Amino acid sequence: MCKVIAIANQKGGVGKTTTTSNLGIGLVQKGYKVLLIDADAQGSLTASLGWQEPDRLDVTLATIMGDLINDKEITPEAGILHHEEGVDLMPGNIELSGLEVSLVNVMSREKILQEYINLVKDNYDYILIDCMPSLGMITINAFACADSILIPVQAAYLPVKGLQQLIKTIGKVTRQLNSKLKISGILLTMVDSRTNYAKDITVMLQEAYGSRVRIFSNSIPMSVRAAEISAEGVSIFKHDPKGKVAAAYMDLTEEVIADE
């Protein structure tokens, strides 16, 4: 049984991409087969895994979804890139922006990504979708085919405040498109544990959402080493295996596995 997890927050810069790649590679290290899907027109996940110019790739998520919309035959392995640390990647690039616009007139437009997932899911234990920082049609597609949503939130006042809209949208998708969808949890990222401010934010998060949504017991600490990995094209496990961020992502990986 393949588990599909969307990693989403309509606010950018909260650690979505870093969480997608490191959780994915953490799951590979635990023996699972993992596909990462870059569903963000900025192509950050693709670039951070070493494909520095996503816009030059011949086949990306936009190509595949476009082919599905036009009823073209596609094979499960089409366009998939293989990373040295064992994860597979369906890359994303700027063409997703154009696709988002054209989806408006498509029949069953919220289910196109689901068609693709159904095609490839037998090959994987986990599929992680890195969503774009908006609640547009591509993100709704991700929610419509996911089993659960993991929400990374920067340990700061405004990102925590913005969760209301996201949780409302998830509720709507659950009611109208995907009754099995659940929120697997809120993950605090970029936490500077030396400050009282981070502790205050954690308390505020617990008070506002703790009764409805799980808040992961593991949080991701602030780290310069973590900021360097996107330029290296590797995970934190390879870049700084003994560091606190690698330990935090491995703890998160175990928490996600224990969920199943």
Comparison of pLDDT for 11 and 159, the residue scoring more: 11
Confidence (pLDDT) at 76: 94
Confidence (pLDDT) at 248: 94
Confidence (pLDDT) at 42: 93
Domain count along the chain: 1
Residue 159 pLDDT class (50, 70, 90 cuts): low
Collapse the DSSP code of 103 into the 3-class scheme (helix H, G, I; strand E, B; otherwise coil) and give the result.
Answer: helix
Collapse the DSSP code of 38 into the 3-class scheme (helix H, G, I; strand E, B; otherwise coil) and give the result.
Answer: strand
Confidence (pLDDT) at 232: 80
pTM for the predicted model, two decimal places: 0.93
- Residue 233 sits in a domain whose CATH number is 3.40.50.300
Q: What is the pLDDT of residues 95-126, one digit of tens each?
A: 999 998 888 888 889 999 999 999 999 999 99
For the chain, how are helix, strand and coil distributed in percent, rounded to 5? Answer: 50, 15, 35
Structural contact between residues 220 and 252, judged by C-beta atoms closer than 8 angstroms? yes
Structural contact between residues 152 and 187, judged by C-beta atoms closer than 8 angstroms? yes
Half-sphere exposure of 28 (CA within 13 A, CB side): 22
Domain that holds residue 240: 3-259
CA distance 172 to 177: 8
